[in-house]
Structure 1
């Protein structure tokens, strides 16, 4: 991991040299010397990192390298701050300080290099053998010791023996320690498959001569798509019923392999609580019952294991086993993964927020033609594919909305983070404020204590304490007294704060500021001093206005200022944004602007929005009829826009959105709340649209007649949006539609669904008072899993019960009634 620290420092040094090329002058050779030495040390560390576990001397040296690299980062950051605010004074003195630090590091490097070379061959063998043995542990379990393997084995054998005669792939996917290798081995040894292949064929497979043979080949633990690409051409694609079976913890490998040859992906699931208990007792107590006095402790262990067979069998070795997944990561992903240690146990993580953290921390590398958020999304997807991040929630369009980290993996990165001074946690095991940490995450209420602290190395400060008025008001004074000159991230979400802390204006290096879910009502003009700020998150506060000094923050990428009240037009939540500033052109890097109230500031505000050409997400509220022309003109200019929300000033305000001839082709999510009367003619041309929400639109014509050909539409919601009496979904329409939601369509009397239309998974009806018949053809929706009915007429519910036998394929039918904003639901 020390290699990652030096690699990160090299990247920072390159940026430093590039941005200050004119100032360097005759010092370029010194900078080059620094860089060359860091390259040599990095190469050395690639070996040292692998050996430090078994060599205390190397471990100490690697730790020293890490601390010196941190010190060098401090020097670079200090120069950046001084140069930003005081011109070029002190430049050469700081550069000499960097060179001196490197010379000190080089001396340590030479001393350690000699000890590394002594006995290097034996150390290397020991290290390699350790990791080899760990990955082979999965094969040491006898079948009698296995629990929960019978059904997966039968399923896989069915996939291998049956099916088409062409070559197919059966991929077993799942996180490390789940038992993929053990399952594959038992399938391979099963009599059914062994009888299907003679020994001559198996020898031919081993020798590589597979042509014209019927064969079964097992590929265990394929980590990367590149490894699969290198192997797949070895296997001839004949029609003899050949099968490949591979195990992988990378879901992308599983998906790609089955796409190449056809076949199936078997997603191996963790053991149930009952299966976990049986396996645990079988190993710990030789099949006997657990002693009563050990039951609570045993249950706690099993909760940590979360159904992983290998973790249950070898709990004492779990750290080394799952560390394989971590050690396999490239350096930039190691940083991103270690960063997850800031979150409390079982915390549900917002991926978009996580990616923003990565960006401001400097973990996301620049790639030509792609914005950092897109690169960061790629990093996130890679960690998900490697089963290092667990997906908890998705939108119907497939976008991940919530995720978490497995408790066992969290324990590993907590230990690594602490050892490397990467993240310090206050409130779990530690009750004292740690010093010299790069990042500090507060998980428990912070009692302000007297004393002197050194927080000069702190880069990020996170607050995850409970929101409780009984807790003493959160104060930054303790941290400012300890020095926070390098702080880049300040996340005070949920803290007991009611005024904007003036000390924040002194954080010149700040990139990310969140006061979300606090009682703050106004933002001080001094925020204009934060010239490096990239994200400003004031959601769920009482802030409704930003000072004009915000326009000085030219590096801003995300402005998130809004809260939701209980009702909007008596149907859905009202959004309260912030009053528009003057012209917005100076904020040319903005990616997200949510929610701006355009009824303040005149026509110039609406026009200036069109100059923010990098916007990916735009939310506008308080739109009036006279804004129509300028709004349409601005939308046409935002060619990268992915998400657009438009809310009128009141339900009678007509939104004139017809004059858009070239809408953003990348638009995926569109929400319009306001009177339209007719559906804008450009919406059916949005081929990438996945989500459409229309509210109080006053549509007279069935909108689905125009929307039917949208190829990627997944979710449609109509809220008081349609005044007609019938809706019809024709055969062959809406190839991707998964969820329909209708709320307060007071005149709707009949819904017809033709056979062969849309693969719907869910339908929701809320307070459609005239709809007395269950949709005709609903029984033909074979994929329908959920039907939710809130405040529907008695006649509708009566017919629903009469037709219950037609709806047996629907696994969940919920009926509810709303009272005082609370919905009481029951299952049919």
Structure 2
């Protein structure tokens, strides 16, 4: 993290020196001197950042560097803030005079502060040179690693402090089978795969987060009697983070030759890597071998290994364990291999393992059951965590329930004082230390979020960007780079996907509790994020980011706002806490990110207008009804999220926000089913075309007589736009506007009820369009849709098409999701043989004349979810549904009893066989203001919604809720 802090402030210093900020000569010289010294430290910091946890003195030095970097950042921000204020407020000669005096004063102040920083850096530099010598790290000046947005690069790793990890990995290899839980099925699957089937070389990649038991599982496979008999030669090679390819090859040679009781080649000690590889390859040629490469950390390691493997049809196999999905993919792709993602233990398996470790296999005492269940939830099915916690619990007296409660509520505090938990922490910490410097602050930023919080990736990306964590890369938008960062965290198993978008990208994820504990600890140590989870908390000396979870005391707020750069709130409803937050904002002039989502605010807090530095502002799901005209003061604002508020008009002042990239202003109408006017946006604002930086604009209402469409045509950076209240007379111009928006990925259009959405004028649609939402009657199917090779999702609502729309959609190569709501007036829908090869989600709602759905052979082979609702004339489930082997969920909403009865096994339904193999089949009815959900056996499953106004907006959202 120190490397990131230094790199971040170097960027600021470079900007300060390069831009048109007039600095007096002495100040400029001091700034340049500080910049040069920081650049000299960066190469060493790459090693020091990862090694500081194992060296207390080094940790102090790294903290000193980080603190200096933060102070320099604060000085620059304050200086720029003073320049902002001295630039306004007066005019003419008086303004120039006041500006000159204030500006000179600012220069004197910054010069004095920089000289003080320089003096401290002189002392720090002495420590730098001492540690640089002991670590043997070359001084490389400003030769910084490039920023990246994904890929296989690994950074921040160190060979120091790795022995503990190796020791624990060795412990995993010594476990007896009887000590293991949940290993039987995975072991059986892997053994079957590697000893049966084709004779080609097989490569198996076992992938998962640290602590899941990858090494333990593969070792049991490796030692299995059937496996030993099947292979002629075998070797187990531990790779780990820091490995030497020559030493790895020598280890392999020793194992292979010793197994055959052959002497190793005499010249092996002097062989280079090429000769060593040739030796291994020659030995393995024409043999059936099993090699395990345990703990492979990057693609480059695999590239160094794979060339020793003879690709012969001998039935040989290679097993790789790794934490990284890109490594697993690289290992398996060339050999058409097998990726085995190792999953956490189930609740039942977790409980068995905990009892095995905590109570020596005996039952958990009843008075401790609730506490143990709570502790187990924190473990999240991670065997390493369960074993470590179980070992700690085994030392507690069962009669002393207070000790058990303390452990439950204070697991994080136990990390530093308990050997077993410390060992677990070190293993998990390896993944954090291995992160490139630019990903460390991004990952630590997750400590803002409460435990078990579902993290929305769009929101997280916007916050990262506003904080300045994401750096521009040539030819890529900053959002794309940030998405690459997210993908890399998911790839490294540091974020667990919970929900994906239709294009396969992750939409929502969460972080394992124990990884969260690690970054919480890091955040506390480095004053990166301060979290208020309880009253009377002990505040650190410096608060840079504040996350309010529930309560914030009045007495503390004024002291900690001066250096604050982000403030996020979660589940805040207490009026005193809201008052404290608003008071805190008065002293938080440096704030970049402000997220007040869900606060019961009725008025826009005027204090926000004083936050000159603000980049990100979310008032999502508040009760705010209007924005002040003086919103123009927030001239650096890039993201404005007003989703779920009651705002329907925007002030003219918003047109001054030239950096605005995302403008979200809309709220949904709640109800059991989606009404025609299901979403309310904001009225068209004359001059909206001035916001040239806009990437997202949702939802804007087309007012009669306005020149909205002409202005939208000038917003050529738009990637997502939704326009409502269009009229038929607008359609010809609308089509020409859409043709001009070449970067568009998502398009939503809806005409006023009763008008026709005529899109026949469109001849060339945006080539990268992925999501298309059309609302209102269509005279004909828009034939240009057939050319959208990137289209992933399409919604047709109230279209009332007379032709079967499937014939126009069936050849789209990437179409994953289709929703029809009152979109078709015909009696039959037919999915032709071999068509819709990527379709996974299908929703059919209120197709009033529909009588039959036919799915021909080999059509929709990947369909996973099918929802049918209010299709009252439909005679039966789709013909051919029994062939859909991928179908996991089948849901019916408000379908007639005569449709449901033949599917019920209790009523001897003659069509039950068609759906018998589908894991989840439900039918639901909206009754008395709530959804009643029934499985096929007819019993009431549960009440999902308890009051009128259930927040169901689309068919997809109904599936999410249910």
| TM superposition score normalised by structure 1 | 0.94
Is this contact kept in 2: 1:787–1:814, CA < 8 A? yes
The reply on whether 1:733 has 2:835 as its aligned counterpart is: yes
Aligned to 2:462: 356
Is this contact kept in 1: 2:535–2:551, CA < 8 A? no
Aligned to 1:802: 910
Of 907, 911, 919 in structure 2, the residue corresponding to residue 811 of structure 1 is 919
Is this contact kept in 1: 2:795–2:820, CA < 8 A? yes
Is this contact kept in 1: 2:201–2:312, CA < 8 A? yes
Instruction: For residue 332 of structure 1, give the secondary structure of its aligned residue in structure 2.
Output: coil
The reply on whether 1:639 has 2:639 as its aligned counterpart is: no
Listed one character per residue, the Cα deviations across residues 113-136 of structure 1 (whole Å, up to 9, x for unaligned) are 466479769xx9973433433444
Aligned-pair distance for 1:573? 6.5
Instruction: For residue 415 of structure 1, give the secondary structure of its aligned residue in structure 2.
Output: helix
Mapped partners of 1:786, 1:532: distance in 2: 46
Aligned to 2:81: 81
Of 379, 384, 387 in structure 2, the residue corresponding to residue 313 of structure 1 is 387
Mapped partners of 2:557, 2:617: distance in 1: 26
Mapped partners of 1:8, 1:228: distance in 2: 33
1:66-145 matches, cutoff 5 A: 66-87=66-87, 89-90=103-104, 92-93=107-108, 96-97=111-112, 99-113=114-128, 116=131, 127-145=161-179
Listed one character per residue, the Cα deviations across residues 488-516 of structure 1 (whole Å, up to 9, x for unaligned) are 01100011211011111110000001111
Listed one character per residue, the Cα deviations across residues 656-704 of structure 1 (whole Å, up to 9, x for unaligned) are 2111111111111101111112111111111111111011112111111
Mapped partners of 1:702, 1:286: distance in 2: 65
Is this contact kept in 1: 2:233–2:256, CA < 8 A? yes
* Compared CA separation, residues 805 and 37, structure 1 to 2 (3 A): same
Aligned-pair distance for 1:3? 2.2
Gaps of 5+ in 2: 88-98, 137-157, 236-254, 258-276, 390-420, 904-908, 937-962
Aligned to 1:653: 755
Of 399, 408, 414 in structure 1, the residue corresponding to residue 514 of structure 2 is 408
Aligned to 1:780: 883
Mapped partners of 2:859, 2:569: distance in 1: 49
Aligned to 1:683: 785
Aligned to 1:533: 637
Mapped partners of 2:68, 2:801: distance in 1: 66
Aligned-pair distance for 1:334? 0.5
1:603-682 matches, cutoff 5 A: 603-650=706-753, 652-682=754-784
1:209-608 matches, cutoff 5 A: 209=282, 210-315=284-389, 316=421, 317-428=423-534, 431=537, 436-449=542-555, 452-467=558-573, 473-474=578-579, 476-481=581-586, 483-566=587-670, 571=675, 574-599=678-703, 602-608=705-711
Aligned to 2:239: none
Of 193, 197, 200 in structure 1, the residue corresponding to residue 231 of structure 2 is 197
Provide the alpha-carbon RMSD of the alignment: 2.6
Listed one character per residue, the Cα deviations across residues 591-643 of structure 1 (whole Å, up to 9, x for unaligned) are 1101111126x342111111111111111111111211221111111111111
Q: How many residues align?
A: 822
Instruction: For residue 498 of structure 1, give the secondary structure of its aligned residue in structure 2.
Output: coil
Mapped partners of 1:33, 1:199: distance in 2: 61
Mapped partners of 2:84, 2:930: distance in 1: 53
Instruction: For residue 234 of structure 1, give the secondary structure of its aligned residue in structure 2.
Output: coil
The reply on whether 1:147 has 2:250 as its aligned counterpart is: no
Is this contact kept in 2: 1:159–1:170, CA < 8 A? no
Is this contact kept in 2: 1:75–1:94, CA < 8 A? no
Q: Which moved more, 1:448-457 or 1:630-639?
A: 448-457
Instruction: For residue 339 of structure 2, give the secondary structure of its aligned residue in structure 1.
Output: strand
Is this contact kept in 1: 2:552–2:581, CA < 8 A? no
Mapped partners of 1:818, 1:415: distance in 2: 47
Mapped partners of 1:352, 1:513: distance in 2: 14
The reply on whether 1:178 has 2:212 as its aligned counterpart is: yes
The reply on whether 1:719 has 2:719 as its aligned counterpart is: no
Mapped partners of 1:342, 1:671: distance in 2: 34
Mapped partners of 1:128, 1:82: distance in 2: 48
Is this contact kept in 2: 1:438–1:460, CA < 8 A? yes
Is this contact kept in 2: 1:590–1:612, CA < 8 A? yes
Instruction: For residue 752 of structure 1, give the secondary structure of its aligned residue in structure 2.
Output: strand
Mapped partners of 2:530, 2:462: distance in 1: 20
* Compared CA separation, residues 26 and 350, structure 1 to 2 (3 A): same
* Compared CA separation, residues 428 and 157, structure 1 to 2 (3 A): farther
Aligned to 1:707: 809
Q: Which moved more, 1:580-589 or 1:562-571?
A: 562-571
Is this contact kept in 2: 1:37–1:102, CA < 8 A? no
Aligned to 2:892: 789
Aligned to 2:202: 168
* Compared CA separation, residues 199 and 697, structure 1 to 2 (3 A): closer
Q: Which moved more, 1:551-560 or 1:68-77?
A: 68-77
* Compared CA separation, residues 426 and 769, structure 1 to 2 (3 A): same
Aligned-pair distance for 1:156? 0.7
Mapped partners of 1:728, 1:826: distance in 2: 28
Is this contact kept in 2: 1:723–1:747, CA < 8 A? yes
* Compared CA separation, residues 111 and 131, structure 1 to 2 (3 A): farther
Q: Which moved more, 1:187-196 or 1:511-520?
A: 187-196
Gaps of 5+ in 1: none
Q: Which moved more, 1:626-635 or 1:520-529?
A: 626-635
Aligned-pair distance for 1:649? 1.9
Mapped partners of 2:752, 2:816: distance in 1: 28
Aligned-pair distance for 1:207? 3.7
* Compared CA separation, residues 658 and 139, structure 1 to 2 (3 A): same
Mapped partners of 2:23, 2:732: distance in 1: 49
Is this contact kept in 2: 1:213–1:240, CA < 8 A? yes
Mapped partners of 2:621, 2:294: distance in 1: 48
Is this contact kept in 2: 1:61–1:108, CA < 8 A? no
Is this contact kept in 1: 2:585–2:608, CA < 8 A? no
Listed one character per residue, the Cα deviations across residues 276-306 of structure 1 (whole Å, up to 9, x for unaligned) are 2222232333333444554444333322222
